[in-house]
Each structure stands twice: as C-alpha cells, then as structure tokens.
A = this chain, B = another copy of it.
C-alpha cells in the first residue's frame, strides 16, 4: 500500500525548517504532478488568516488549528497588539510553537490615516520577526511605503476588500497602484472579495502573480456584491483550477483560509475547507 501523506509531510517539513517565525516565504519544493500542466517548485502551505478567529482568544484559536493540523497563522492585532512588548511577543511565539504553529505574517493592519501608522506597522512586523506585512494604506502614502520596504527588506501586501472598498476593491486596482513601485510592494489577494467585485480570480492569478505575496483563500456564494463567504468547495470559484493556476505560475506564498461564515462557531466550516484544499492539492500532486 502506497503511503500518501504529501500534504501532511510538507507541513511537518515546513515546521522543521521554519524555526520560530523566521520563514516568511515558502521553500521551493518540487512537485511531480501527474498533470503535466502542473509546474514544479510549488509551495502549498495552508495557513489561517487571523480574522477567521475574530471572536476567539489565542488559546481557543490555536486549539482549533491544532485540531485541523494547520501550521501557519497570519497574526491579527487582536491576538497580538501592536503595542505588545518584546516579552509579550516572545511569549506569543512560544505559545504558537507549543501548538506547532508558526506566525508567518502580520495583518491586515489598517494604516490609511497617517505615516505614523505606517511606521508603527513596520516596527511591529520587525519586532514580531516576520518579513511580510498585510496592510490597508492610503494611496498617497504608497511611495512612502515603497521606501519602507527597502529600509526593512520586507514585502508589503495590500488587501483588496470588494465592491464596498473605495480604495482597493479588487486585484487590478492594487496591481495598478504598486506596479511601478518597489517589487516588494504587492497584493494580499482576497480571491473572494475580488470575485464579489465581478473579477475572475483565476485569471487574476495569472495576471498578477508576480505581485501576489499572500492569499486569503475562500469561496463565495455569488460573483456579485451580495456574495457571501462559504465553505471552500461550495462556492462559485473553481478551486481545483485555482490551485492548478497557482501551481502553474509557481506561487510561493501561503494560502491563508479566511472563513467569514459561522464566525461564532467556525470550526466545522474551517475544517471542511481545510479538507477540501488538501484533497485538491493531493489530487493534483
């Protein structure tokens, strides 16, 4: 009987290689796809976007992650405030490590009001020890942030938030805003909000992948403004084709599940979504 635990094994290898919050970018792992359209050198680390746990403290959140065997977390400020001391940050990382979890990025952090917010966000990321900031900045401060990513040698990923978002409704608006700035300026691609804004999230991976540093992995019930987040396999976005496309373009970041349904009791929907993603990855591997 062939043993097939690619998804899990990769998680274990990832943890072994990662150290404490020191691995913002996935290692290149060759995938020998049976489908010749699937490129090699793909990293499919599954993560959880911290916002999925907005109604839970860190202990409960980590217990859910452990139950699901998900090893990466994008850190939200309600779990680790921007004002945390270095000792508090160390205690936070220890708690994550005790659950086999690595915090790989911070955000989304709102920093549209002032340069002070931007300064504070980058200092926070530095103290947390990650190399990726997910943020929502004003457009006029983008050149300032482009200098910051040089200074800190970090990636900065702007989060697109759908038709209600006047600044960054979709991937195209973010790409157009950053394409002439430092190449560390890019996108935290919320594929669900992008779809809700009427855009093709699979084509947009092909178009903008060089600036996609993080993904909010989700599906939605409709490709319209009234579309709601649903379990990953139950929505309008073709996830197997999405994952194949990530593979084809050689995406190296995390796929960070953001589940905005049943937020007071998210475990079943998160677990179903995690299983779906793993089933797709294992089938295409």
Chain A: residues with CB nearer than 8 A to chain B?
Answer: 1-5, 7-8, 34-35, 67-69, 195, 200-202, 223, 231-241, 267-269, 271-284
Contact = CB atoms under 8 A, between A and B. Distances in A.
18 contacts: A1-B202, A8-B233, A34-B35, A35-B35, A68-B268, A69-B234, A231-B275, A233-B282, A240-B279, A240-B283, A267-B267, A271-B272, A272-B272, A275-B276, A276-B276, A278-B279, A280-B280, A280-B283
A236 B274 CA distance: 18
Q: Chain A binding site: helix, strand, loop or mixed by DSSP? A: helix
Nearest to A285: B240
Contacts of A232: 275, 279
Contact of A1 (B67, B234, B236, B281): B236
A242 to B, nearest CB: 10
Contacts of A68: 268, 272
The count of identical subunits is: 2
Nearest to A64: B268
A245 to B, nearest CB: 12
Given A1-B223, A4-B239, A283 B275 contact: no
B274 A241 contact: no
Contacts of A274: 272, 275
Given A1-B200, A272-B274, 4 more contacts: A2-B202, A3-B236, A279-B282, A280-B282
Contacts of A235: 5
A170 B98 CA distance: 40
Contacts of A69: 231, 234
Contacts of A233: 7-8, 275, 278-279, 282
Contacts of A281: 279
A4 B275 contact: no
A7 B219 CA distance: 15
A279 B282 CA distance: 9
Nearest to A275: B275
Contacts of A268: 67-68, 267-268, 271
Contacts of A275: 231-233, 271-279
Contacts of A279: 232-233, 239-240, 275-283
Nearest to A198: B1
A202 B35 CA distance: 21
B195 A1 contact: yes
A23 to B, nearest CB: 23
A234 B274 CA distance: 12
